[in-house]
Structure 1
Amino acid sequence: MGSTELPMRLSFDCDDDHGDALAALALARFVTGDEPYVEELEAQGVARAVDLVPMDSVVRQVSGPHVDRLLAQGEGWTAVVQRYRNGQAEVSVSAVGTETLAKAVADVRARCPVIEPQPESIHVDFWYADNNCQRSVRRRLDAAPWDDIAHQYAAGARAKVDALAAMEPPDGGGRLLLWHGPPGTGKTTAIRSLARAWSGWCRTLFIVDPERFLGEAGYLMSVLLGADDHDEDSDGPRWRLIVIEDADELLRADAKRATGQSLSRLLNLADGFIGRGLRTLVMITTNEALGRLHPAVVRPGRCLAEVEFPALSKAEAAALLGPGHAVDADLTLAEVFERRGQLTRLSSQPASGGIGQYL
């Protein structure tokens, strides 16, 4: 493939954005056709951006408070490395041919740190829209085994999450998981534990900006049709659990009037035309009572699991608190932890029977 002569005109939001200028230098060799083959990859636990390329190949480097970027060039290849403060790095390699590309990518992979599995944590991909681009950042989150924390939940919620945690990849039925209940009842903690229980066959994606995700078709399809992980012992892609928290406005009875097509897209993603053929489950949490939700959300056959997370009864709360704690009302899990001294509230006001903190 020869060089393609194309006029190039670059514009920048700021006249001092060195990071954009660095990216433009790398794109130029692809746009002109000098290096028409590209592969992108990610790495975890990277201490320095320069560790992923030969030291003498670096031609530009920009360091910032949140991300470091560098441009590296070798014989027939160019690489751009973006390394974030959490140790995640994104690498884009372009090359003159497929063999050169394969060698350059193999060299980058050989320089990536080997991450030892951490059984007490899970990987979560956080998706967000940045101007006109959709990006994801992978983070490692602590996640206790469900069996270790199940006793902290009300009996009804505990039984349903028990069944979910033991579940294998579904072969039919609904794809929507609806978890509802007051703030502080442990929904988020339970999601992390469920993600850990499913980590052998399902990866977890968290949508940071659900309004944009459901409001922009390009963003939605970018996440749904992105590259899939594959199981080591299977040729098929892994399942994905898309988590949308605190979706109250999307799920209320007046949601379609208030939020336009967002509710329709959400339901279509779960079990409509969009979601067909995709190994995707959708987890939605809300603080709304079930009776206040849109009928389309809770219709029979749509939900793989509908789980209510209520406050603990007086007896359940007393059992968690142990002797010496008087319980005269139902308590959320956050309120129990606060009474046990596991949560600290800094306040200039006297303690009240509020709704507690999110868990």
Structure 2
Amino acid sequence: MRNPQLPFSVAIDDSDTPRDVLDALILSAFTTGEQPFAQTKRLAKVLKTASLMPAEGQLQRVATDNGVRSHLVCGEGWTLRAVRWQGDSAEVTVTATSDELATRILKEATRNAKDSRKPAKDIVEMGFWHMTGHGPRRDNRRITTQSWEQLRRNYASDVAASIDKLLEVKPETMPGRLLLLHGAPGTGKTTALRALAQAWSDWCQVDCVLDPESLFASTSYLMQVALGFDDENKRKWRLLIVEDCDELISASAKQSSGQSLSRLLNLTDGLLAQGRSVLVGLTTNEPLASLHPAVVRPGRCLAQIEVGPLPFAEASAWLGSSAGIGSQGATLAELFALQRGETGLVRVAPEPRVGHYL
């Protein structure tokens, strides 16, 4: 397609959306050199009432697609495109005839746009990264979670003691950058991470990577995540959570996932980690012995915690009864199922056989 507003040809088919057209239009004046200066700002927690437009200028295009809203605004010597994603995160790009003009328009468009209100005590703000047709994207969500004090009884005493120590960690006392939670499904690994996100919220932003296979396969995606999203929040530490990453960190990871393991380790203590306040939290159902030795070597991990079932005595105390609990104890998921009366869903370990004696 050739458009008089575009100085270049653009091929559009039925896989493209109006948003793609706006992405092309913002490049027009920059491509010709008419507006040779460009600046971009990314924001998390944007107020729903924020217009993301300066007072001056004329609205040219608006595109809404599955809850994602984009608009294009033009003014004397400048062009602005803003994209607001679900989850209240946004990106604003300005091209202009001078760097000073681009700075002024960008500042006006984003002034007072950020929601600076502190969430309630039972709410923690988390980002969710995933790759889209428009590149890496981070959605900000508010997650409800109980405090660790409320959740502590759901874990075996030795596990709870390990998490107690983890919650006391501060940036200035960071012994490692890799956090590893391993154990059987249903033991509460994800719940513990939500409580950790709440406890660390004053100094650490927690993000969850939904497609780790894409993250560690793409250097551009990895760099975007490593650099962060919110331009105003880069002084905070960041914890990147990668759940159920069994294949990524298994003993055969080098053969099965190529450079993915190397890139993961580089993000924690390699060159990529230098100058970046980034922690990586991994969860896996695999036992520690089956993981790659490079992952569990001394000095690399901030913590290695096995989150296992509650022993028989602690599980019985949690439930208030020993009915349905096997001699090996029960996972948190099994205890909740027993509490609801869903005995048919619970795995009960067989009792040891008793021999016959003369």
Please tell me the TM-score bracket, short chain as reference: 0.7 to 0.9
Deviation (angstroms), 1:37? 3.0
Moved more, 137-146 or 240-249: 137-146
Q: State the distance in 2 between where 1:159 and 1:10 align.
A: 59
Q: State the distance in 2 between where 1:214 and 1:286 align.
A: 17
Mapping of 1:199-278 within 5 angstroms?
Answer: 199-226=201-228, 237-278=235-276
Number of residue pairs the alignment of both structures matches: 340
Match of 2:335 in 1: 336
Find the residue that maps to 1:81 and give its secondary structure: strand
Q: Report if the CA contact (8 A) 1:204-1:242 is conserved.
A: yes
Match of 1:185 in 2: 187
Find the residue that maps to 2:66 and give its secondary structure: coil
Q: Report if the CA contact (8 A) 1:181-1:289 is conserved.
A: yes
Mapping of 1:107-118 within 5 angstroms?
Answer: 107-110=108-111, 112=113, 114-118=115-119
Deviation (angstroms), 1:62? 1.5
Deviation (angstroms), 1:238? 2.1
What one-letter code is carried by the residue in structure 1 that aligns with 2:345? S
Q: State the distance in 2 between where 1:16 and 1:102 align.
A: 31
Deviation (angstroms), 1:170? 4.4
Deviation (angstroms), 1:57? 2.4
Match of 1:3 in 2: none
Identity of aligned residues (%): 39
Moved more, 181-190 or 63-72: 63-72
Q: Relative to structure 1, is the Cα distance of residues 200 and 115 closer, same or farther in structure 2, using a 3 angstrom cutoff?
A: closer
What one-letter code is carried by the residue in structure 1 that aligns with 2:280? V
Mapping of 1:136-155 within 5 angstroms?
Answer: 136-155=138-157
Deviation (angstroms), 1:53? 5.2
Q: Report if the CA contact (8 A) 2:177-2:302 is conserved.
A: yes
Find the residue that maps to 1:62 and give its secondary structure: strand
Q: Report if the CA contact (8 A) 2:324-2:338 is conserved.
A: no
Q: 1:351 aligns with which of 341, 344, 350?
A: 344
What one-letter code is carried by the residue in structure 2 that aligns with 1:285? T
Any idea what the Cα deviations from partners look like across 1:235-254, whole Å, max 9, x if unmatched?
x8222211111010112222
Q: State the distance in 1 between where 2:339 and 2:292 align.
A: 38
Q: Relative to structure 1, is the Cα distance of residues 111 and 72 closer, same or farther in structure 2, using a 3 angstrom cutoff?
A: farther
Q: Report if the CA contact (8 A) 1:49-1:81 is conserved.
A: no
Any idea what the Cα deviations from partners look like across 1:9-60, whole Å, max 9, x if unmatched?
2223537622111221122122222332323232535436857555972111
Match of 2:122 in 1: 120
Unmatched runs of 5 consecutive residues or more in structure 1: 1-5
Q: CA RMSD in A?
A: 2.9
Any idea what the Cα deviations from partners look like across 1:98-142, whole Å, max 9, x if unmatched?
343333223323352644211322222222222472222222222
Any idea what the Cα deviations from partners look like across 1:221-271, whole Å, max 9, x if unmatched?
22223467667xxxx822221111101011222221122221222222222
Q: Report if the CA contact (8 A) 2:42-2:230 is conserved.
A: no
Q: Relative to structure 1, is the Cα distance of residues 13 and 241 closer, same or farther in structure 2, using a 3 angstrom cutoff?
A: farther
Moved more, 90-99 or 293-302: 90-99
Find the residue that maps to 1:274 and give its secondary structure: helix
Q: 1:312 aligns with which of 310, 313, 317?
A: 310
Moved more, 193-202 or 315-324: 315-324
Find the residue that maps to 1:161 and give its secondary structure: helix
Q: Relative to structure 1, is the Cα distance of residues 283 and 13 closer, same or farther in structure 2, using a 3 angstrom cutoff?
A: farther
Moved more, 108-117 or 254-263: 108-117
Q: Report if the CA contact (8 A) 1:52-1:112 is conserved.
A: no
**TM-score of the two chains, using structure 2 as the length reference:** 0.84
Find the residue that maps to 1:296 and give its secondary structure: helix
Q: State the distance in 2 between where 1:172 and 1:43 align.
A: 26
Q: State the distance in 1 between where 2:43 and 2:293 align.
A: 41
Deviation (angstroms), 1:149? 1.0
Deviation (angstroms), 1:168? 0.7
Match of 1:84 in 2: 85
Q: Relative to structure 1, is the Cα distance of residues 305 and 324 closer, same or farther in structure 2, using a 3 angstrom cutoff?
A: closer
Unmatched runs of 5 consecutive residues or more in structure 2: 1-5, 349-358
Q: State the distance in 1 between where 2:247 and 2:333 align.
A: 24
Q: Relative to structure 1, is the Cα distance of residues 167 and 176 closer, same or farther in structure 2, using a 3 angstrom cutoff?
A: same
Q: Report if the CA contact (8 A) 1:174-1:303 is conserved.
A: yes
Q: Relative to structure 1, is the Cα distance of residues 43 and 218 closer, same or farther in structure 2, using a 3 angstrom cutoff?
A: closer
Matched, 1:38 2:31: no
Q: Report if the CA contact (8 A) 1:179-1:285 is conserved.
A: yes
Q: State the distance in 2 between where 1:201 and 1:316 align.
A: 34
Deviation (angstroms), 1:325? 5.2
What one-letter code is carried by the residue in structure 2 that aligns with 1:263? L
Q: State the distance in 1 between where 2:182 and 2:230 align.
A: 29
